[in-house]
Amino acid sequence: MTRIDDRNNSDLRPVKITRNYLLHPEGSVLIEVGNTKVICSAMIEDKVPHFLKGTGQGWVTAEYSMLPASTQTRKARDINRGKIDGRSQEIQRLIGRSLRTVVDLKGFGERTLWIDCDVIQADGGTRTASITGSFVAMVDAFNSLISKKEIKKIPVKSFVSAISVGIIKEEKILDLCYSEDSNAIVDMNIVMTDKGEFIEVQGTGEESPFTYEELLDLIELAKKGCNDLYKMQKEVLGEKLSEEIGK
């Protein structure tokens, strides 16, 4: 099978992560994965949800949205629909879970870290790009607290990234663009840490079931993709900051 952009089945699309993309947030990133582009920002608020008051524990939560012009046909804003889109709600919960899992919530006091992911151009993999980019923005936000001497170390236990895998015409492929995703008979999104741990495995047989052996092959392919993404995250954060993760 020849892929649209002539990639090998085990290749990522070109990935570019630009730090400090916005002026105001403590951390912000523009992540570009092929034609998919997402702005990920991280802002710190000096309060927590009511259920955490007095516990000394912080919170990490996320919001996700797609700009109206991010897709080929205009996507209505949630505010005009009167409610949040179900898909957006599912994705923002996934982003929040993925980041909270690798954070020591007692390590930054009673604060809330808000992650906002805004898709400005969509061509598949927006949720996985959001997680990968948001991790970098989150580390920068925590580093800002260190700069202010409000915490002593970055409260992050491991790197986290996410990638899609799927099966098209009996071939297993990594990092699906939109046209590949819409034609896949099996579609999966996998979130992992750099310690080889899984945070989330979302897999669906779109047209037919998949076997245990196919599942294992797809997981191995996703591990390869996530390992490549950790290297990019570490490169963009720099050696000094990357070495602080997991201390």
pLDDT for 47 beyond 80:
yes
* Mean pLDDT for the chain overall: 95
The predicted pLDDT at position 84 comes to 79
Q: Is the residue at 7 inside a domain?
A: no
Q: What percent of the chain has pLDDT over 70?
A: 100
| Residues 247, 236: Cα–Cα separation, whole Å | 19
pLDDT for 12 beyond 90:
yes
pLDDT for 85 beyond 90:
no
Number of domains forming the structure of the chain: 1
Q: What percent of the chain has pLDDT over 90?
A: 89
Q: Is the residue at 41 inside a domain?
A: yes
Residue 229 tokens read as 């993404």
Residue 187 main-chain phi, psi, to 5 deg: -135, 130
Question: Cβ distance 222 to 192 under 8 Å?
Answer: yes
Q: Is the residue at 145 inside a domain?
A: yes
Q: How confident is the model at residue 247 (pLDDT cuts 50, 70, 90)?
A: confident
Q: How confident is the model at residue 87 (pLDDT cuts 50, 70, 90)?
A: confident
Give per-residue pLDDT as tens, 173-230: 999 999 999 999 999 999 999 999 999 999 999 888 999 999 999 999 999 999 999 9
In the block, which residue shows the tokens 């491991």?
158
Give per-residue pLDDT as tens, 88-117: 899 999 999 999 999 999 999 999 999 999
Q: Is the residue at 109 inside a domain?
A: yes
The predicted pLDDT at position 206 comes to 86
* CATH classification of the domain holding 187: 3.30.230.70
pLDDT for 82 beyond 90:
no
| Helix (H) or strand (E) segment spanning residue 144 | helix 126-147
What contacts 23, CB < 8 A, 6 or more positions away?
none
Q: Is the residue at 234 inside a domain?
A: yes
Q: Is the residue at 8 inside a domain?
A: no
Residue 63 tokens read as 């919001």
Range of the domain at 235: 15-242
Give per-residue pLDDT as tens, 26-37: 999 999 999 999
Please write down the HEC assignment for all residues of 197-238.
CEEEEEEEECCCCCCHHHHHHHHHHHHHHHHHHHHHHHHHHC
What contacts 212, CB < 8 A, 6 or more positions away?
none
User: Following DSSP, what letter does each residue of 3-44 receive, concatenated?
Assistant: -TT---TTPPPPEEEEES-SSSSSEEEEEEETTEEEEEEEEE
- Largest Cα–Cα distance of the chain, in whole Å? 57
What contacts 3, CB < 8 A, 6 or more positions away?
9, 173, 180
Report the side by side order of strands in the sheet with 36-45: 15-19, 27-33, 36-45, 112-121, 59-66
Q: Is the residue at 1 inside a domain?
A: no
Q: Is the residue at 6 inside a domain?
A: no
